[in-house]
A and B are shown apart, each in its own frame.
Chain A
Amino acid sequence: MTTAPLTAMPIGTESQLVIAPMLIVLVAAVGSLLLGRRPRGRIGVSLAGGAAFAIAVAAIDWYIVLAPDAPGIATYQVGDWPAPFGITLVVDGLSAFMLTMVAILGIASLVFSTRVLPELDRRSYYFPLFHFLALGVTGAFLTGDLFNLFVWFEVMLMASYIFVAYYGGPQHTRAAFWYVALNLLASAIFLLGVGGIYATTGTLNMAELARRIADPVAYGIDPGPIVGLLAMLLSVFAIKAGLVPFQFWIPTAYRSAPPQVAALLAGATKKVGIYAIIRLSFTVFGDAQIAVSLEVPGVGAVAGDSPLAFVGAALSVMAAASILVGGIGAVGRDSLEGVLAYSSIGQVGFIAVPVAIAATTANPTLRHVGIVAALVYALNHTLAKGLLFLSVGAIRSATGTSRLADLGGLAGRSPPLAIAFFVGSLALVGIPPLSGFFGKFLVFDVAARAEAASVLVLLLVGSLLTIAYVTRTWNLSFWGARTDAVEGATADAVQVGVVVVLAAAIVAVGVGFEPVYEFADAAASAALDSEGYREAVGEYAPTGDQAGGGHE
């Protein structure tokens, strides 16, 4: 990459770059849909789409966020309709960081998928669905409009429904049905929240929302209901992220989906929930001045002059419960997917803890560090959990089983796979010099700076539980005597290769942590820079009677 001036950019303007990843995924999805009769062509289109997506995301990272003269934020007004009437797509540090995370995992999973079930794909549209899932995730990261976020959530969910039901057996259809039912209900609640926010503020464009919430008097709105509506949205995003008490669907759904898709569900769609929580709480409602005071059992009185106080309190309870439920649940599972699914619940708790601290504190430095910690931990979880789920896919392809009782002695059968699995496990635990170490370190650091002793104890317990289930899983599946299933198994070279590359990425992030930290730092600054976000999307002169949604 050269630091060429922006006028000499190889591909259009920054504004056009914003929509590039979405267009690429859409073309890949439609292209692979049309090539239904040609499996090889379909795989070719998919891989080309994946490569183009990677290039687009890398270009966004460099030209918009990381380059020395980068603007830091870029917007695209779809159809040239100005905000707040049109749909705005926004890329800032936060979206770019999340997109990069998803791109790495998505491409690994895509390459892996080309070696699984090619004969099934002819009938089942695996690759088009894969791209539509990626499209939903990408759209959710890019959109600057609340209702549009709902639409991208639905696109993402549509594809994930089919993946959960993919194998079509009794337990898969049952799991998919409850997954669909839960998410339809969640979508209805999302709509209720969106409707309420529209009635309260008279807009759904995030930048315009932030502007009106920050200065309710000028726009003649009563910001009181916002806290409750934000709670509604928070519960929907917590369902997506799988925080306790909304975690119950995760084990069933993750066990039911193909492992390489479960990697995406854990690594990408969960992060959409986390992203939405961070974006709405900090960027949109961060400057709101609303007096909050309520009693939360177990936390005590919550008071503050911004909805963030409430978000922080609710998140800390959910995060604490998630760490415990996920950790304890993962220790006793009897299959690899079960362990990883419960582990995901616990790890998302670890991501939510620093976000909760950032929302609770009034100290801007601590708030910034909290978001950085959450992002670094999210990156680590995406890489490590993606790697482990893909390893499970490789193990299932080779041995036909993922039950811990039927596995043993895998380390001798496939040393590269074993080493990669080991690296992923250690990254979850947080051993230096892997990416997980910095994630864990930053989370502990935030808790220590906030002087929250109870949080530190909780994090320690969570970490010990992580060590417990990781060790148990390793001993039962890779150590010990070889079982019959393992004895005759040969792992697919490409699948193992993908897993090894991901393991190398985890080591690389840990060893070359400096640039990663800078990127996360830029992302956290962007998340907290409500002012910059509003200005980038564009000013819109209030005419005075726009607000209130006809309630005068």
Chain B
Amino acid sequence: MTTIVLAAVIGALFALGTFLILRRDLIRVVWGLAIISQAANVYLLAMGGIAAGTADSVPVLAGHGEHVPETADPLVQALVLTAIVIGFGMTAFALVLSYRVYEEHDTLDVSELGDRE
């Protein structure tokens, strides 16, 4: 069940991100990129798999003697944490850059920015 929900969420996020990237407004393009980065992160988590926690994978939780919930792969959690930080920095930079584009061009409309040459 978890797998199906995750797959649907990842698909929806990629679809939304792609839709936003194809918009004419630069800010929406940045949001689209941010959403695609997050979709990649959710995908990473799903790839690591969601499994029953064991004493090996989550010693902190297993040490309680209580019921251990399902957890994502700890290695993947570390990777995603790194990717989130990088993605956040990139998004912030892209937003600042769009502001500078607006200052230089007085527009955020892709079609008015001229061609890319």
Q: Indicate if B116 sits at the interface (CB-CB under 8 A).
A: yes
A177-B86 Cα distance, complex, nearest whole Å: 17
Measured between beta carbons, the chain B residues less than 8 angstroms from A154 are 86, 90
Is A177 a contact partner of B37 (Cβ separation < 8 A)?
no
Q: Mark A125-168, 1 if CB is under 8 A from B, else 0.
A: 00000000000000000000001001100100010010001001
Query: How long is the Cα–Cα vector from A274 to B112 in the complex, in angstroms?
Result: 36
What is the interface of chain A mostly: helix, strand, loop, or mixed?
Answer: helix
Q: A177-B97, A180-B94 are in contact. Are A199 and B36 (CB under 8 A)?
A: no
A550:B86 contact, CB within 8 angstroms: no
Q: Across the interface, name the chain B residue whose C-beta is closest to A248.
A: B116
Contact A192 B43 (CB under 8 A): yes
Contacts of A251 in B (CB 8 A): 117
> With a CB–CB cut-off of 8 A, which chain B residues contact A176?
97
B-chain residues with CB within 8 Å of residue A180 when the two chains form the complex = 90, 93-94, 97
Evaluate contact between A185 and B47: CB separation under 8 angstroms: no
CB–CB B76/A198 < 8 A:
yes
Q: Looking at the assembled complex, report how far the CB atom of B109 sits from the nearest CB atom of chain A, in whole angstroms.
A: 12
Interfacial chain B residues near A175, Cβ < 8 Å:
116
How many pairs, one residue from A and one from B, have CB atoms within 8 Å of each other in the complex?
108
Docked Cα-Cα span, A194 to B41, in Å, equals 11
B77-117 interface code vs A (CB 8 A; 1 in, 0 out): 00100110011011001100110110111000000011011
- A551 contacts which chain B residues (CB < 8 A)? 49
A contact residues around B51 at 8 Å (CB): 550
With both chains docked as a complex, state the minimum distance between the C-beta of A494 and any C-beta of chain B, in angstroms. Answer: 32
Nearest-CB distance from A465 to chain B (Å)?
20
CA of A252 to CA of B43, assembled, Å: 32
Picked from B30, B36, B44, the residue with its CB within 8 Å of the CB of A195 is: B44
Residue of B nearest to A551 (CB): B49
B45-95 interface (Cβ within 8 A of A): 46-51, 73, 75-76, 79, 82-83, 86-87, 89-90, 93-94
* Residues from chain B with Cβ under 8 Å of A192 in the complex: 40, 43
Docked pose: A17 CA to B113 CA in angstroms: 49
Interface residue tally on A, bucketed by range:
35 or more
**A174 in contact with B39 (CB, 8 Å):** no
The interface size of chain B toward A, counting residues with CB under 8 Å, comes to: 41
**Which of A161, A178, A199 contacts B49 (CB under 8 A)?**
A199
Q: Are A188 and B36 in contact (CB under 8 A)?
A: yes
Bound complex: CA of A184 vs CA of B73, how far in Å? 25
Interface residues of A in 365-405 (CB under 8 A from B): none
- A173 proximal to B (CB < 8 A): yes
Taking a contact as CB atoms closer than 8 A, the residue among B21, B44, B114 that contacts A191 in the complex is: B44
Distance of A185 Cα from B33 Cα, bound (Å): 7
In the assembled complex, the Cα of A173 lies from the Cα of B116 at a distance in Å of 11
How far, in angstroms, from A184 to B90 measured CA to CA in the complex? 8
Contacts of A169 in B (CB 8 A): 104
Q: Does A31 belong to the interface (CB within 8 Å)? A: no
Residues of the A chain whose Cβ atoms lie less than 8 Å from the Cβ of B33:
181, 184-185, 188
Residues of B within 8 A of A165 (CB): 97, 100
A80 to B63, CA, bound (A): 27
**Could you tell me if A173 and B104 are in contact, using CB atoms closer than 8 angstroms?**
yes
Point out the residues of chain B lying under 8 angstroms from A178, CB to CB: 116
Q: In angstroms, how far is the closest chain B Cβ from the Cβ of A156?
A: 12
* Across-interface contacts of B105 in A (CB, < 8 A): 170, 173-174
Q: Nearest Cβ in chain A — how far from B110, in angstroms?
A: 9
CB distance from A503 to the nearest CB of B (A): 31
Selected A-B contacts with CB under 8 Å, 8 pairs: A161-B93, A181-B21, A188-B40, A189-B40, A191-B41, A198-B75, A252-B117, A550-B49
Question: Closest 6 interchain pairs by CB?
Answer: A550-B49, A195-B47, A199-B47, A191-B40, A195-B44, A170-B104
Interfacial residues, chain A to chain B (CB-CB below 8 A): 147, 150-151, 154, 158, 161, 165, 168-170, 173-178, 180-181, 184-185, 187-189, 191-192, 194-196, 198-199, 204, 248, 251-252, 549-551
